[in-house]
């Protein structure tokens, strides 16, 4: 359970109800499981538990107002909606569920609910008769029909003295429910190989040629593939990122070492995803000793590095090959050309000239292209973008396996 929630972004919405006191324990337990938690409270929720309590437990400011100038100057409601991997409303009162089901957007929580592409979940909490009411069950059916996960409720004694269904699940049970939202099964039984990060090409024992790739996108895709049930091998260039859980990581430095690891891992793989920003060139010779700063001008002869993704795509028994194109101009045109020239099955391209989705950003936006079409993934967290891309990859792989398209 803990591994599945590590580094996940949970946006916890708290609506008005006596069960709001349980939300404090829920925040603590989510953080114990490795999640990053931000809290949004409705005005009614603030009557039951203070924002200061939730801020202390989450380690983040609590978001209260839809039209707060301070919030909009820092992380506006749209940015907060993009940030989340899962939006959980706990407790979800009868009134809150009704507003979410009807698509109202008259406070911060309901606006975020409409604005996010993250997974959605509610943990109902209300009087047993309110839970049993026809209109509440109708609203529940609407939410479920739209793919909203419903956690509980439990049955037992209630604050009003009644006994029956309507109690919010306890914190540990809700944490387990949250963890289950990150298991999709779309790639169960499949082997996926992913390259990520930059390569370094040595000039001498202390200097090298490289680029600004952080590896964040590749690591997010690796984690999304694990969530989808795949057996994942992550081939990582030199990056300062922790290893995602439940996968094999192979660390490499240069393009040559990444090529060797990729060709070995790709044998028998179902999917190969090349997110690594491989240096295009390397020095023809590497100085054995540190180059001294004695000349005003120094020249190096560079030779072209191997094209790793093209080499994998040329294998006789190749996997489904997904390339990446980080461009600064004519992004889609360059990506389409690369798709055809390298004989890839899919390619994902982004504009790294944009500061908001560049190499070091936590967000991204992609255009994913395949021979018969394309899909635009609008700006969101790299975690969310990774899940959407993995869904497209799984669809494409299914088409190949069922003979609808050729690899």
pLDDT in tens, 80-110: 888 898 999 999 999 999 999 999 988 899 9
Assess whether pLDDT exceeds 60 at residue 400.
Answer: yes
Task: Respond yes or no: is residue 375 known to be catalytic.
Answer: no
What's the maximum distance between 2 C-alpha atoms anywhere in the chain? 86
Judge if 132 and 224 occupy the same domain: no
Residues 334 and 310 grouped into a single domain: yes
Q: How many CB atoms lie within 10 A of CB 202?
A: 15
Q: Does 167 have pLDDT greater than 60? A: yes
| Catalytic residue, candidates 160, 178, 349, 375 | 160
Q: Enumerate residues 6+ apart whose C-beta is below 8 A from 239.
A: 196, 197, 198, 213, 214, 215, 219
pLDDT digits (tens, 9 = 90+) for 118-131: 999 999 999 999 99
73 — pLDDT class (breaks 50, 70, 90): very low
Domain that holds residue 250: 191-401
Is the distance from CB of 12 to CB of 235 less than 8 angstroms?
no
**For strand 9-14 and strand 36-41, is the pairing parallel, antiparallel, or unpaired?**
parallel
pLDDT of residue 405: 81
Q: Give the CATH number, domain containing residue 90.
A: 3.40.50.1950
Query: What does pTM read for this prediction?
Result: 0.75
**pLDDT 10s digits, 281-327:** 999 999 999 999 888 999 999 999 999 999 999 999 999 999 999 88
Q: Grade residue 235 by pLDDT with cuts at 50, 70 and 90.
A: very high
Residue 1 scores a pLDDT above 50: no
Question: In Å, what is the CA distance from 346 to each residue of 5, 192, 258, 367?
Answer: 29, 15, 21, 10
- Cα 112 from Cα 129, distance rounded (Å): 29
Geometric angle at alpha carbon 386, from 384 and 389, rounded to 5°: 115
- The residues, ordered by sequence, that sit 6+ positions from 104 with a Cβ below 8 Å of its Cβ are 110
Q: Is residue 92 domain-shared with residue 216, that is, in the same domain?
A: no
Q: What is the pLDDT of residues 345-382, one digit of tens each?
A: 999 998 878 877 767 788 889 999 999 999 999 888 88
Cα–Cα distance between 362 and 82 in angstroms, integer? 11
| Statement to judge: residues 155 and 297 lie in one domain | no
Phi then psi for residue 284, to 5 deg, are: -65, -35
Counted domains in the chain: 2
Distances from the Cα of 177 to the Cαs of 191, 289, 381, 391, in angstroms?
A: 27, 57, 22, 21
| Rounded-to-integer distance, Cα 248 and Cα 250, Å | 7
CATH number at residue 396: 3.40.50.10300
């Amino acid at each position: 359970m803990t591994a599945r929630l590590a580094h996940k972004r949970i946006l916890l919405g708290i609506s008005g109800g006596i069960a709001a006191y349980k939300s404090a324990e829920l925040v603590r337990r989510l953080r114990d499981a490795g999640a990053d938690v931000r809290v949004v409270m409705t005005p009614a929720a603030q009557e039951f538990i203070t924002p200061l309590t939730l801020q202390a437990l989450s380690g983040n400011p609590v978001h209260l107002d839809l039209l707060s100038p301070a919030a909009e100057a820092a992380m506006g409601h749209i940015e907060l909606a993009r940030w989340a991997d899962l939006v959980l409303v706990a407790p979800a009162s009868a009134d809150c569920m009704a507003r979410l089901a009807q698509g109202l957007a008259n406070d911060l929580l309901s606006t975020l609910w409409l604005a996010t592409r993250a997974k959605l979940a509610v943990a109902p909490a209300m009087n047993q008769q309110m839970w049993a009411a026809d209109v509440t069950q109708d609203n529940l059916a609407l939410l479920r029909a739209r793919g909203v996960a419903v956690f509980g409720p439990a049955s037992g004694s209630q604050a009003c003295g009644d006994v029956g269904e309507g109690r919010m699940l306890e914190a540990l049970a809700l944490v387990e429910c949250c963890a289950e939202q990150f298991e999709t099964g779309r790639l169960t039984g499949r082997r996926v190989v992913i390259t990520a990060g930059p390569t370094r090409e040595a000039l001498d024992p202390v200097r090298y040629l490289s680029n600004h790739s952080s590896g964040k996108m590749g690591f997010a895709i690796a984690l999304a593939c694990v969530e989808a049930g795949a057996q994942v091998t992550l081939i990582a260039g030199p990056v300062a990122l922790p290893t995602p859980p439940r996968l094999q990581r192979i660390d490499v430095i240069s393009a040559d070492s990444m090529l060797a690891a990729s060709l070995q891992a790709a044998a028998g793989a179902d999917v190969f995803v090349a997110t690594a920003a491989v240096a295009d060139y390397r020095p023809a010779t590497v100085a054995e000793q540190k180059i001294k700063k004695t000349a005003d001008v120094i020249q190096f002869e560079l030779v072209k590095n191997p094209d790793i993704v093209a080499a994998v795509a040329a294998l006789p028994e190749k996997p489904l090959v997904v390339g990446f194109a980080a461009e600064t101009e004519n992004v889609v045109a360059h990506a389409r050309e690369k798709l055809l020239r390298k004989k890839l099955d899919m390619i994902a391209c982004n504009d790294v000239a944009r500061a908001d989705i560049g190499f070091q950003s936590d967000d991204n936006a992609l255009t994913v292209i395949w021979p018969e079409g394309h899909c635009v993934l609008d700006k969101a967290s790299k975690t969310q973008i990774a899940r959407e891309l993995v869904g497209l990859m799984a669809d494409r792989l299914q088409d190949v396996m069922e003979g609808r398209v050729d690899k």
